Amino acid sequence: MNSAFPRQLVSTKQLNPKNIQLFLEKTAKMEQALLENKSSQIMQGKIMAALFYEPSTRTRLSFETAFHKLGGKIISVAGSGSTSIKKGETIYDTIKVIENYADIIVMRHAQIGAPGEAINATQKPFINGGDGAGEHPSQSLIDLYTIYKEHGKIDELTIGFVGDVKYSRCIHSLTYLLKNFKTKLVYISPKELAMPHEIKKFLTENKITFKEARQIETEIKNLDVMYVNRIQKERFDDMEQYKKLKHSYIITTKLVKTGKKNLIVMDPLPRVGGILTEVDQLPQAAYFRQVKNSVPVRMALVDLVMNG
């Protein structure tokens, strides 16, 4: 098994127990350094290109924060409107240009497969910052680190995913990542937003225990982690269907209190519908702690893709 971390991270399928262990250890070190205000300036003289052709708040700003904390500098694009992509330039050509400016590229794009086109154009370190309804590997590393920190382990946990299982790139990437652990997975969604067939095939082929369900009320009692992701409006062609499904799951204080004592509630955010703000007061609400973890995780991640 190759413990070297991939230089170009497109999918969590590229990760294995060895490089995940490396990642967890490095993140813990980055977190400690942040606490002591002693982050090493290993990215001094380096430039990150943060190319966000799809909306982003957390991913772009936390990658930028992470890179600044390590002493690096950023060039960035937020939205495709201001770039030559708008004029019809391909991703391939765009990356061929940007690789001359930057030492590492992070890209978010609405199209599934866009990262593949990008890495065809460059050997430079690259991180997929989310490709449409495809994957979001750096978010799932934040999620993994959060579960590890909150529960002290990942194996033997039952993790329930609630909401838009079909289009959530965060749920897809975390699913692939959890192949490396002994967890039980429960996908709770309306039938229209169930897990895509090819990912279920992956689960079966890799002998991962999973089930599909519709009602959170009946499933919550078995969960150690409830991972909520909003119904993804921008992925629907039919707005009537979106309107019908958008309020499928409302997470209330009363509901969370019916769960196990050690249950944690996670959400990659933004929350739109889903978790009510009243839940924020509960110790189970881990989503803002998840946000906090995003900086040391992305510090570790840029270091790993750039320096192995």
Q: What span, in angstroms and rounded, lies between the C-alpha atoms of 268 and 48?
A: 23
Select the residue interacting with ligand NCD from 125, 132, 137, 268 (CB under 6 A): 268
Tell me which residue of 138, 90, 133, 101 sits closest to 299, measured CA to CA.
138
Q: What span, in angstroms and rounded, lies between the C-alpha atoms of 30 and 32?
A: 5
Active site annotation includes 151: no
CB 131 within 8 Å of CB 111: yes
Exposure string (b/e) for 212-224, b if CB count within 10 Å is 16 or more? eeeebeebbeebb
229 sits near ligand NCD (criterion: CB under 6 A): yes
- Exactly one of 12, 26, 46, 59 is catalytic; name it: 59
Active site annotation includes 124: no
In the shown chain, the binding pattern of residues 269 to 298 toward ligand NCD, with x for contact by CB under 6 A and - for none, equals xx----------------------------
Q: How many positions of this chain bind ligand NCD (CB under 6 A)?
A: 12
In the shown chain, the binding pattern of residues 154 to 173 toward ligand NCD, with x for contact by CB under 6 A and - for none, equals ---------------xx---
CB 215 within 8 Å of CB 188: yes
Letter for the amino acid at 49? A
H helices present in the chain, as ranges: 17-35, 58-69, 91-98, 114-121, 137-151, 169-177, 197-205, 216-219, 239-245, 253-256, 287-307
- Exactly one of 58, 73, 96, 149 is catalytic; name it: 58
Stretch that binds ligand NCD, among 13-21, 99-107, 149-157, 267-275 (CB under 6 A): 267-275
Select the residue interacting with ligand NCD from 19, 139, 173, 189 (CB under 6 A): 139
Active site annotation includes 136: yes
CB of 56 to ligand NCD, least distance (A): 6
In the region spanning residues 119 to 138, those forming contacts with ligand NCD, defined by CB under 6 A, are 130, 136
Active site annotation includes 59: yes
Residue 129 is given by DSSP the state E
Q: What does the binding site for ligand NCD look like in residue numbers (CB under 6 A)?
A: 58-59, 130, 136, 139, 169-170, 229-230, 268-270
- Cite the active site residues: 58-59, 87, 108, 136
